[in-house]
């Protein structure tokens, strides 16, 4: 039985205006009130999705969000951390050295702000986040050594992101899970982290398995989640890899694809 609905955000639940449509909101609230868990599952930090949690009223004691692409499982109400996997400064330094050598930008996501490594060049990541989380421009030497970090990203034109990924040295491939979350954003996660792992930890907490999961996604960082879910649904706008991995396909993110599939599946 499906107990849990997991939703990627950008280009899945959110339309091209980066909003939850009225129809998607209505259907998800209806299912949540009927007892289904609705779990936002995103690469963003929790502070950048609070407005969406509020909009969908995901504020019951058992409501959680998966952030940092599976690296952080956190309760929406108490902020209790169920599970967390992070990077340290020494690991970030591997990326910094390669970025300096091959000239690509890096932003490091800390617990309460994003650090832009300005020596690598300022990216457009801050403008993309539109004030949802604070940013600070720093030299690598000034990156706090006593903090841990959720992930590192490289935001650049799609061709640059593709070149960056293709040329990564073996030490980075061995120590990070490297995956794009859109054509213009390459993400460097702790090696063991993906959305399926975070969702598996959450469902285990509730005494369930990934067979109880229905998940929606569109991009490569959703791959493991859709493969592991009892039902994995690709958006009509998903990349070919995701469409091949999914059990089902729905309409695109600008045509209420999430609501369309849920209404049909749950016979609403």
Both structure tokens of 44: 């963003």
- Produce one character per residue of 47-85: b if its CB has 16 or more CB atoms within 10 Å, e if not: ebbeebbeebebeeeebbbbbbbbbbbbebeeeeeebbb
Q: What is the mean pLDDT of each run of 10 residues along the chain (268 residues)?
A: 97 96 98 98 88 97 96 95 96 97 96 93 91 92 95 96 96 95 94 97 98 97 97 98 97 98 97
Rounded Cα distance between 137 and 33, Å, is 43
Residue-level pLDDT at 133: 87
Residue-level pLDDT at 155: 96
The distance in angstroms from the start CA to the end CA of the chain is: 16
Set out the domains of the chain in order of their start, with CATH numbers.
4-84+193-265 (3.40.50.1000), 89-190 (3.30.1240.10)
Q: What is the model's pTM?
A: 0.93
Angle between helices 257-265 and 22-33 (to 10 degrees): 40
Residue-level pLDDT at 166: 96
Phi then psi dihedrals of residue 26, to 5 deg: -60, -45
Please report how many Cα atoms fall inside a 13 Å half-sphere around the Cα of residue 173, on the Cβ side. Answer: 7
């Amino acid at each position: 039985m499906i107990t849990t609905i997991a939703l990627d955000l950008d280009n899945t639940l959110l339309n091209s205006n980066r909003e939850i449509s009225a129809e998607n909101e209505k259907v998800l609230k209806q299912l949540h009130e009927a007892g289904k868990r609705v779990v936002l599952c995103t690469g963003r930090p929790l502070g950048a999705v609070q407005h969406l949690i509020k909009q969908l009223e995901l504020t019951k004691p058992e409501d959680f969000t998966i952030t940092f692409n599976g690296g952080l499982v956190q309760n929406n109400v108490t902020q209790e951390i169920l599970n967390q996997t992070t990077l340290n400064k020494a690991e970030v330094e591997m990326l910094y050295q390669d970025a300096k050598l091959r000239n690509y930008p890096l932003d490091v996501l800390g617990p309460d702000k994003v650090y832009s490594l300005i020596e690598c060049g300022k990216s457009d990541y801050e403008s993309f986040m539109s004030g949802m989380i604070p940013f600070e421009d720093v030299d690598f030497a000034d990156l706090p050594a006593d903090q841990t970090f959720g992930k590192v990203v490289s935001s650049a034109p799609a061709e640059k992101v593709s070149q960056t990924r293709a040329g990564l040295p073996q030490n980075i491939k061995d120590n990070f899970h490297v995956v794009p979350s859109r054509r213009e954003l390459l993400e460097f996660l702790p090696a063991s982290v993906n959305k399926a792992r975070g969702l598996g930890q959450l469902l285990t907490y509730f005494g369930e398995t990934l067979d109880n999961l229905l998940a929606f996604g569109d991009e490569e960082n959703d791959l493991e989640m859709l493969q592991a879910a009892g039902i994995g649904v690709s958006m009509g706008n998903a990349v070919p890899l995701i469409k091949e991995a999914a059990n089902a396909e729905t309409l695109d993110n600008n045509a209420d694809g999430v609501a369309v599939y849920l209404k049909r599946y749950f016979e609403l």
